[in-house]
Amino acid sequence: MTDQAEIENYNYSVFVGSEQFMDFRTLLPVGSSGPDFEAPLLENGQTVRLSEY
């Protein structure tokens, strides 16, 4: 899937109610390691990385 297609697929324009609540039960069970990620803070744009906490 191209980047643009991935973006459009993720940011759907019409809600169709496709949430996978059952899948959530088995994804990342307690005791597992939380995936690291980084994202900018809205306030100042400073990038925050989970593993830095």
Partner 1 sequence: MGEVPPLTKLHEKYRDKGFAFFIVYVREAHPGENFPHHGSFEQKLAHARQLRDLERVKIPILIDDLKGAAHVAYGLLPNMIYLIDRDRTVVYKSDWTDAHELEGMCESLVRLDDMKARQVPIIRKGVSERLHWIPMDPQHRERIYRRSGEKAIRDYFNARGHLPYATDAERDKTQAS
- Whether the Cβ atoms of residue 13 and residue 27 lie closer than 8 Å to each other: no
Q: Minimum distance between the CB of residue 4 and partner 1, rounded to whole angstroms?
A: 10
Residues forming the site for partner 1 (CB under 8 A): 3, 6-7, 10-17, 19-21, 23-25, 27-37, 39-43, 48, 50-51, 53
Smallest separation (angstroms) from partner 1 to the CB of 30: 5
C-alpha to C-alpha distances, 33 to 27, 36, 40, 50, nearest whole angstrom:
11, 9, 22, 12
Report, in Å, the least distance between residue 22 CB and partner 1.
Answer: 10
